[in-house]
Structure 1
Amino acid sequence: MKVLITGATGLIGQEIVSLCHQSNFEVNYLSTSKQKLQSLSNYRGFYWNPKEGEIDTNCFQGVEVIINLAGATVAKRWTSSYKKEIIESRTLTASLILKTLQNIEHNVRHIISASAIGIYPDSFQNYYMEDSDKKDTGFLGEVVAQWENAILQFKVVGIDVSILRIGLVLSEKGGAFPKMAKPIQLGVGSFFGDGKQWQSWIHVKDLACMFIFIAKERLIGVYNAVSPNPISNKKLTRTIARKYNKKIVLPSVPRFVMKLILGEMYILLFSSQRVCSDKIMNSGFHFEFGNITQAIEVLVEE
């Protein structure tokens, strides 16, 4: 099988590329940086510039499956201009790929796209499944709604669509975990608010495996990409602290303080979403890191 990956050089993309090669999949990838383009027998880069509508159509040669990870990080202050970039980095990229496929001959039969659990509203009580009719009315809900709608358009041209709503991704190589772990390691960690907010998380290796599983099994539809065991912010913080042999002694960080520091983006730290992964597990997927203690064990080096 040959796959085309957008966002292949990012944290999640690198894990997926590695698994593709283990499965003897050839990988084409799109990059906006010409310096990141390589041309190996099983790993070939192609240039694109979604803002200008540019794409090297050779990237689609022999490709059956597209894995779409394109999108600017939400972990950056949400100015008006950056909010626009967050949305367009997801919608313009999808639209450019779709428009290009409509105008060339190709073998693409399936697109598997990243999405986010940010589509679900903040709640301490609800347990969200993929068919939930409750949608977040804030900025993150708007981002995910537009993102998923752009991907669903591929159905119009007969391409199967799979969407993974991803939770908090844990990796020692980057993302949120090192930023969470560092202050705890230094003895200055604390909870956010009362620490009761649900955090639906997934180890990056399980996430990469899920993309490959869906590609191999040809699963179609929306799937929650979270571990089977959501935890509270307090439990996550204490589990990390225990691994470092530290105690959480500082008072919790109030919501208004983080709002002053981060602006509207503070919601990322305080939003509570308890999300269910039964659907993907009932399809035969097995989590290597099903509980947070297992995950922290491998994330924190001795």
Structure 2
Amino acid sequence: MNPKFLLGVCVGAFVFCSCQKNLTEKADLTTRPLDKNTAAAAASSDALDAILKDLPPSTYLLKFDNTLPVNPYITRKVYGTLSENTLVPISKFGIRGLESIGYTLWPPRKIPFPTGPTTCPDMLLRADIAQRVVDLLKNVNKNWYDMTAVEVTQGQFVIGTAGYFKAASLTQPDVIDKNVIGQTALKNFRLILPDATKYSGFQRRDYGSFDIASRSASGDTYENIIGRIYPNSIGCFYPLDVSVLRYNLEKNYPGQFKFNVTQLPGGGEAFGE
């Protein structure tokens, strides 16, 4: 198995999640000393690059969408190319509500708190590298003092603050799970909504567990194909299940959706706006 990791410390933003880590204040580098290799690398390049240098970019993703404080350690907004739609086992997140309705996989993205800001994770791999990233981030921002790396499956880590994991654990089924999805097999579809979209009933951005980061018969990933067609709401994959979901959405929320349907390589369907 190729190890992978996600980092979770965000305040912030659709499908191809945009996580905003709160980095607008002056960097605090006094929390603990950086290890000598990281500190030395920062003198000539980016310290986060130095930590990640032995990992293929396709195996990790860290995003910083806000303005970074001036510091020699983290100098870019995005590190890695791992899909934000990557699914990981849900069991290590303590999300009993979703597990109770059959979820075994989910994309660890932005989680809204019941009140206040939002928080989200990033992905990474290898325990030693994940810990070095955690140590670096704690030094860069004193507000990340409770950040930790959780191994969600062998060699695959999610890095996040205690706030992220707490918010994730509070996620519960909603009326979409009950009235729209019902008994539809979770592995047969994926519904994804943009962060800014305010459709009635939707309390999450992701429903279902079809792997849209997988490659289609055309060689491109389903998320790329669908994203070019429907930059807003997305639904896919198996035609029968897609038709049921569309019917239930239009029945429960008449006039709210104006769906178009597109055939996908391999026989699947996508609908969206």
- TM above 0.5: no
User: TM-score per shorter chain, which class?
Assistant: under 0.3
The normalised TM-score by structure 2 is 0.24
TM-score, length-scaled by structure 1 = 0.23
